[in-house]
């Protein structure tokens, strides 16, 4: 009860108290492994992973160096990739073998993937030959982001001629089945899945009934080579809890469950966030030089596009010299256009990712975004025009910024959708580079429309 009270006291962001952490660190310092094991055993595995993640690096390694430290293998699975790699590199290959042997195949595969080449080789030589062959075949046959890399090879499958009673007896007596599963796959003599039955349906059906009579046909089998992002889309689209995975011969080789998909969706969202900012996924362990190198390419492209926008400005340097207010006001037009373009771009990338934007509706959506940009242009033309008149008491400047605002925000809406759609058509990920091009277009058109109109309206 004492520990529970501590957990509810002053909290930090990971929901475990500072008092709890200090208590754990004290036990680590005293090498009191029995109390460490007892303290952590009272927590959920996800909370243990959070505790490990938030320990000082030195104490974290001291924890894993404790002899007889009893860590739940699933805690290792819950750790972030980089931290998982650090800990796996720290502990012995024999200990990793014990961890791998106690996990379901999808989690075991993840652990082995995160090992250094030397340690991977050591571990593969010590695990059962059948498991070794399966892992090596998966690594060599299927791409890193494929369905086969996230599936588990443990699943429940029975012949279509079996009765409910036979199936229940099989499920009770067989040890190799996964701990949790939502459906039982029905297969024919060639190991080709022909249907599935929810486990709840089996429990509510009489023993004499044939499985083929209560099964539903398999409409959502996942090819092992399918990209995991597409798998996640299928799960979301068809509200799946689990799905069978088949090889090129349509043989059932594994199963993907909803918890695997949650992880995929989280990873893909993080990737898209990084890409929209023009950076690749960075690791905590990356050096400053390594990160600098990764960001250099997009910053270079940004520099070139900024020079392009500056070239447009330089063409009107005489006008700017005559009316200093132009230098004050032109960033407003470019900035509003850039923000409007980014809004449209973000929505478009999301529509493409969820496959809501398709060839049949692309013209309609482009037209709609064009109108949204135009309507926003009208609204902010009125607001900015009024503000500029109050500021400078010059109706010509007000008219200038109003017309430029309409033009640039309309252009922003149009290109904010056209650019990612165009990149997607050429099989280029629109999340990677769209923002650079959209920002360039809005800057160039913003400066060009504002300064070009200034030369005409102000007669300079």
Whichever domain contains 35, its CATH number is 1.25.60.10
Residues in CB range of 397: below 8 A, 6 or more apart: 325, 329, 388, 389, 458
Last residue of a domain, one of 236, 257, 278: 257
- Each residue of 16-75: pLDDT tens digit? 678 888 999 999 999 999 999 999 988 999 899 989 988 988 999 899 988 889 889 999
**Strand pairing of 157-159 and 183-187?**
parallel
Please check whether residue 278 lies inside any domain of the structure. no
| 19 and 117 housed in the same domain | yes
Please check whether residue 263 lies inside any domain of the structure. no
| 8 and 70 housed in the same domain | yes
Element (H, E) at 216: strand 216-217
Enumerate residue ranges in the chain where pLDDT < 50: 1-14
| 106 and 240 housed in the same domain | no
Please check whether residue 367 lies inside any domain of the structure. yes
Residue 376, domain CATH = 1.10.357.20
| 161 and 138 housed in the same domain | no
| 299 and 188 housed in the same domain | no
| 241 and 319 housed in the same domain | no
If one counts the domains in the chain, the total is 3
| 363 and 295 housed in the same domain | yes
Please write down the HEC assignment for all residues of 131-156: HHHHHHHHHHHCCCCEHHHCCECCCC
| 397 and 428 housed in the same domain | yes
Please check whether residue 280 lies inside any domain of the structure. no
Residue 87: the pLDDT is 92
Q: Provide the greatest CA pair distance for the chain.
A: 94
Concatenate the DSSP letters of all residues of 290-309 into one string.
HHHHHHHHHHHHHHHHHHHH
Please check whether residue 277 lies inside any domain of the structure. no
Please check whether residue 276 lies inside any domain of the structure. no
- Flag whether the pTM goes above 0.75: no
Please check whether residue 151 lies inside any domain of the structure. no
Last residue of a domain, one of 119, 145, 171: 145
Last residue of a domain, one of 237, 257, 277: 257
Residue 448: the pLDDT is 87
Residue 247: the pLDDT is 94
Q: Round to whole Å and give the CA distance between 74 and 206.
A: 37
Residue 415: the pLDDT is 93
Please check whether residue 243 lies inside any domain of the structure. yes
- Full residue range of the structural domain in which residue 87 is found: 2-145
| 10 and 58 housed in the same domain | yes
| 166 and 231 housed in the same domain | yes
Residue 286: the pLDDT is 61
Residue 160: the pLDDT is 92
Q: Helix, strand, coil shares of the chain as percentages rounded to 5?
A: 65, 10, 25
Residue 246, domain CATH = 3.10.580.10
Percent of the chain with pLDDT over 90: 45
| 15 and 69 housed in the same domain | yes
| 87 and 110 housed in the same domain | yes
Residue 437: the pLDDT is 83
């Amino acid at each position: 009860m004492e520990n529970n009270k501590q957990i509810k006291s002053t909290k930090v962001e990971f929901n475990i108290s500072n008092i709890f952490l200090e208590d754990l660190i004290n036990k680590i310092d005293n090498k009191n492994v029995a109390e460490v094991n007892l303290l952590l055993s009272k927590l959920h595995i996800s909370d243990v992973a959070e505790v490990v993640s938030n320990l000082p690096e030195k104490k974290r390694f001291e924890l894993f160096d404790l002899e007889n430290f009893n860590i739940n293998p699933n805690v290792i699975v819950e750790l972030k990739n980089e931290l998982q790699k650090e800990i796996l590199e720290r502990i012995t290959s024999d200990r990793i073998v014990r961890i791998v042997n106690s996990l379901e195949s999808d989690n075991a595969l993840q652990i082995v993937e995160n090992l250094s080449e030397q340690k991977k080789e050591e571990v593969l030589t010590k695990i059962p030959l059948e498991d070794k062959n399966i892992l090596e075949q998966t690594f060599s046959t299927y791409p890193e982001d494929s369905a086969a890399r996230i599936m588990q090879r443990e699943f429940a499958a029975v012949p279509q001629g079996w009765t409910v009673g036979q199936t229940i007896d099989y499920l009770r007596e067989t040890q190799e089945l996964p701990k949790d599963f939502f459906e039982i796959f029905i297969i024919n003599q060639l190991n080709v899945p022909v249907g599935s039955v929810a486990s709840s349906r089996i429990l509510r059906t009489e023993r004499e009934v044939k499985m083929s009579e209560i099964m539903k046909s398999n409409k959502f089998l996942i090819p092992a080579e399918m990209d995991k992002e597409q798998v996640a889309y299928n799960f979301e689209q068809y509200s799946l809890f689990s799905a069978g995975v088949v090889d090129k011969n349509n043989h059932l080789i594994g199963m993907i469950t909803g918890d695997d998909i949650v992880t995929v969706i989280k990873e893909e969202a993080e990737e898209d966030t990084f890409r929209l900012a023009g950076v690749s996924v960075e690791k905590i362990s990356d050096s400053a030089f390594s990160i600098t190198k990764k960001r250099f390419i997009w910053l270079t492209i940004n520099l070139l596009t900024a020079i392009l926008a500056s070239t447009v400005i330089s063409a009107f340097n005489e006008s700017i010299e005559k009316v200093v207010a132009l230098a004050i006001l032109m960033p407003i037009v470019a900035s509003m256009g850039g923000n409007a373009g980014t809004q449209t771009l973000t929505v478009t990338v999301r529509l493409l990712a969820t496959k809501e934007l398709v060839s049949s509706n692309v013209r309609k959506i482009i037209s709609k975004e064009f109108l949204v940009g135009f309507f926003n242009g009208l609204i902010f033309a009125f607001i900015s025009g009024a503000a500029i008149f109050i500021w400078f008491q010059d109706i010509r400047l007000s008219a200038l910024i109003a017309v430029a605002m309409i033009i640039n925000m309309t252009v922003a809406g149009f290109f904010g959708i056209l650019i990612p759609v165009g990149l997607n058509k050429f099989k280029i990920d629109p999340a990677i580079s769209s923002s650079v091009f959209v920002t360039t277009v809005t800057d160039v058109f913003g400066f060009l429309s504002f300064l070009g109109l200034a030369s005409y309206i102000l007669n300079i």
